Structure 1
Amino acid sequence: MNLAQARFNMIEQQIRPWEVLDPEILALLNEIHREDYLPLASKALAFVDMEVPLPGGQSMLAPRVEARALQDLKVQKHEKVLEVGAGSGFMAALLAHRAQRVISLEINPELAEFARSNLQKAGVSNAEVRVADGARDVQADGPFDVIVLSGSVAEVPASLLNQLKVGGRLFAIVGYEPVMRATVITRDSDKNFSTVQPWDTVATRLQNFPEPSRFKL
């Protein structure tokens, strides 16, 4: 496989058509090699428009979803980021190149070690992977400028919204199959939040987040 050509095709045929046009993000996707963050058996799937299976029943988000989320969040160099769902460490690497510091939580110890190893090999020094349950473990390092949920949830818990600084943004994929909504929540003041849902997608569930009953009278 010609990796450079496959990466170029991914950017031009999957990511640009999804309205990811920020030149810095497109350059970053060319610079950070997605295939380096996958198990050997899955490297051939690095550039495919799909979620890639990871150990522990987890998945790596599709390339266009990661790219669009990164563009929508507008992460700045002075900002501190919390990611829930480290997976292979690829999204943490992307965020680390845009932010001052990234803390990435992974509930699966094997996967957390895999992500740590990938980031270390890539020389990413401002991203830390912790074994933790992002649905339950409140982080002492908060509040954060940006929070990223690298997977889907039925709803965003208040405990995570409370970890946002004023002016901070949270990204999550919210809802139920067959259609979920990419959701960006901004903390406008101590008590007020605003929400936009600019596009649709589907993603694997993050573990242990609440699943409210969908039954209504």
Structure 2
Amino acid sequence: MTDFATRRVMMVDTQIRPSDVTKFPIIDAMLAVPREAYVPRAMREMAYMSENVAISPNRVVFEPRTLAKLLDTLNIQPTESVLDVGCGLGYSCAVIARLAEAVVGLEEDEALASEAQRTLSTEGVDNAAVIVGALTGGAAKHGPYDVITVQGGVETVPQALLDQLKEGGRIGCLFMEGPLGVARIGYKVDGAVTWRPAFNASAPVLPGFETKRDFAL
């Protein structure tokens, strides 16, 4: 029988701590949440490797380092509400739920969404809910949000998401520029979002988050 608990400790010791992630709530969350429960069954042996785990075409569970550094930079507080865009099978929701007051996971793939909600319920995560909807449209009904995370690469961020961010709120996105990407944190001040670079990472660009390109003959 695979000892996932030991792998979880190794993940934190070899991938998270060496990446300058020092906030105890994040370390604690990464140690507590069983990552293997939130990846496809056939991929469980890969759950704790230092790479993204594919869950469907152009969709991944961020590698542990990427998620931890994104959350470290966003500095989510226990009183805050979070919109988790592209939550997939729910791993990011489960981790964020240990940091925030409430999490809304947004997923447009109904099969992924139902599996995510089922796993979150089974694992006793009662302050996170997964809703089905277009990732680019956000979830305005439950907003506005203190923090928004996007669980995949982006080239552009839809205005609908930025509109659902509270004044003074933060949004974390991985902007892809070819095969390489830069995670940036956006801060909303006076209605406008200003972006600051945080760290390098890589992931497939989410459908609908590509830059529209004009084709010329």
Please list every run of 5 or more consecutive structure 2 residues that lacks an aligned counterpart in the other structure: none
1:21 is aligned to 2:11: no
Structure 1 range deviating more: 27-36 or 52-61: 52-61
CA shift, 1:177, in A, is: 2.3
Q: What's the CA shift for 1:107?
A: 1.0
Q: What are the residue-to-residue correspondences of 1:1-217 with 2, within 5 Å?
A: 1-55=2-56, 58-137=59-138, 139-190=140-191, 192-213=192-213
Residues paired across the two proteins, number: 215
State whether residues 155 and 175 of structure 1, in contact with CA within 8 Å, keep that contact through their aligned partners in structure 2: no
| Displacement of 1:212 | 2.9
CA–CA separation in structure 1 for the residues paired with 2:214 and 2:80: 36
Name the SS for the 1:98 alignment partner: coil
Determine if contact 1:84/1:104 at 8 Å carries over to the other structure.
yes
- 1:175–1:212 CA distance, 2 compared to 1 (3 A): farther
Aligned CA-pair RMSD: 1.8
Q: Give the TM-score taking structure 1 as reference length.
A: 0.92
Distance in 1 (CA, whole Å) between partners of 2:69 and 2:138 is 27
Partner-residue secondary structure (3-state), 2:136: coil
Q: Which runs of 5+ in 1 are unaligned?
A: none
C-alpha displacement at 1:151, in angstroms? 0.4
Q: Secondary structure at the match of 1:26?
A: helix
TM-score when scaled to structure 2? Answer: 0.92
